[in-house]
Amino acid sequence: MSSSSHAAGSRPIAQRSAQATPLAQSSSPRAVAAWLLICCALVLAMIVVGGVTRLTDSGLSIVEWQPIVGTLPPIGDAAWLEVFEKYRQTPEGMLVNHAMSLEEFKGIFWWEYFHRLLGRLIGVVFFVPLVWFALTRRVGAGLALRLGAIFVLGGLQGAMGWYMVKSGLVDNPHVSQFRLTAHLAIAFLILGAMFWVALGLLFPQRPGAASPALRGARRLSWWVTGAVTWMVLTGGLVAGIRAGKAYNTFPLMDGHWVPPEIMMIEPWWRNFFYNMATVQFDHRLGAWALAVLVPWLWLRVRRAGATGRPMASAHLLLGLIVLQVSLGITTLLHAVPIGLGATHQGVAAVVFIAALAANHALRAGAARA
C-alpha cells in the first residue's frame, strides 16, 4: 500500500477519534473557538476593570441592581442628584465620603457603571452567538451542554456581584471579603472554562501515551495551576481586608519572615480571614511556591525533550511568573497604587490561563502531536 493510500485510509479513523471527543462536537470548531477566545478577552478586561473599581472605592456608588433599566446612566441634573442622594444614605456615603461633591461622585459612579455595563456586554456577546451556533447545528449536544453551563455561571456571577455589593450597603462601608473573593473566583472559573473548551476545539486530543517524563511534567503542571488558584483566592482576601496596605516591605514583613502578629486573633481560624498579617503571609507563600514550581516545571519539560506547544507553554509560563512576582513586589512596596494593583490583578488572570494552556499542552495526545 502506498503512503498516500495509507494516509487516506487513516483519515476517517482520525475523524472518528475527533468526533468521539465531546469538545470536538462542532462542525465549525475554529469559529466557535474564536468566539470563546473573544469572550475570554472580555472577561479579562472585566477582571481588570473590576480591580480598578475596587481600588478606587467605586463599587458601592450604585446602590440598586437594575439589570435592564440600569443599562442607561443618569440623564440630566435631576437624575444625577437622585442617584447621588441614594448613595449619601449608604454607610460609605455617610461615614467615609460625607464631604464628597457631586462631581467627585460622578468619578466613582462611572467606574462602577462601566463595570456593570461590561458585564452586560459579555452576557450578550456570549448568549447571542451561542443561540446561533445551536440553531445552525454548529455545536453538538455535549458541547452545547458545556457552553450552557458556562452561561449559567455568568448569571450566577451577576447575582454574586450584587450580593457582594449589598454587604457594603447595610451597616459596613466595605464589602465582605468572602463575597469579594467568591466574586473573583467565579470570574476566574468562567475564564478558565471558556479557555479550556476553546483549547479543546483548536487542539483535539489524539490517542496515544506520552513519555513518563512528560506525564510527570503534566502532574507538576496541575500543582502549578493549584498554586495559581491559591494566589487568586488569597489575593481576593488581601483585597477584601486591604492587607496590601500593611507590611509594605520585601522579602521580610516589617523585619520578620513570619510576623509575630500572625495568630493574634481568637479563635485561631479567624486569623486566616481577618488578620492582615496572616492573609498577606498566605498570599506571599503562594508567590514563593510559584517561584519554585514554575522554573521546576520548565526544567522538567525541557529535560523531557518536549517541543512545540508543551515547550512553548512552559516558556510563556516562566516569563509570566517572573513578571507577576515582580509586579506583586512592586505593588506591595508602593502600598497598592491603582495602576499597579489593577495590572497585578490582570496579569494574574493571564498567568492562570497560561497555566491551563500548559496543562492542556502536556496531555498525552497533545504532547505526542
Locate the domains of the chain by residue range.
25-202, 207-369
DSSP line for 258-302: S-GGGG-SSSGGGHHHH-HHHHHHHHHHHHHHHHHHHHHHHHHHH
Mean pLDDT of 23-47: 89
The neighbouring-strand residues paired with 105 are none
What pLDDT sits at residue 368? 54
Return d(Cα 122, Cα 110) in angstroms, integer.
18
Model pLDDT for residues 294-349, shown as the tens digit of each residue: 999 999 999 988 888 999 999 999 999 999 999 999 999 999 999 999 999 999 99
Model pLDDT for residues 116-135, shown as the tens digit of each residue: 999 999 999 999 999 999 99
C-alpha cell at position 291: 517561584
Closest CA to 178 of 229, 227, 241, 232: 241
Question: Which is more confidently placed, 60 or 10?
Answer: 60
Most distant pair of Cα atoms in the chain: their distance = 86
What pLDDT sits at residue 211? 76
pTM: 0.89
What pLDDT sits at residue 208? 61
What pLDDT sits at residue 366? 56
> What value does the mean pLDDT of the chain take?
89
Model pLDDT for residues 7-30, shown as the tens digit of each residue: 444 444 334 434 444 455 777 889
Return d(Cα 303, Cα 294) in angstroms, integer.
14
Return d(Cα 366, Cα 360) in angstroms, integer.
7
DSSP line for 163-215: HHHHTTSSS-SS--HHHHHHHHHHHHHHHHHHHHHHHHHHSPPPS----HHHH
Residue with cell 445551536: 134
Q: Give CA 198 to chain center in angstroms.
A: 16
In sequence order, which residues have a C-beta less than 8 Å from that of residue 308 and are 6 or more positions away? 361, 369
Model pLDDT for residues 72-101, shown as the tens digit of each residue: 899 999 999 999 999 999 999 999 999 999
Return d(Cα 42, Cα 275) in angstroms, integer.
34
What pLDDT sits at residue 367? 56
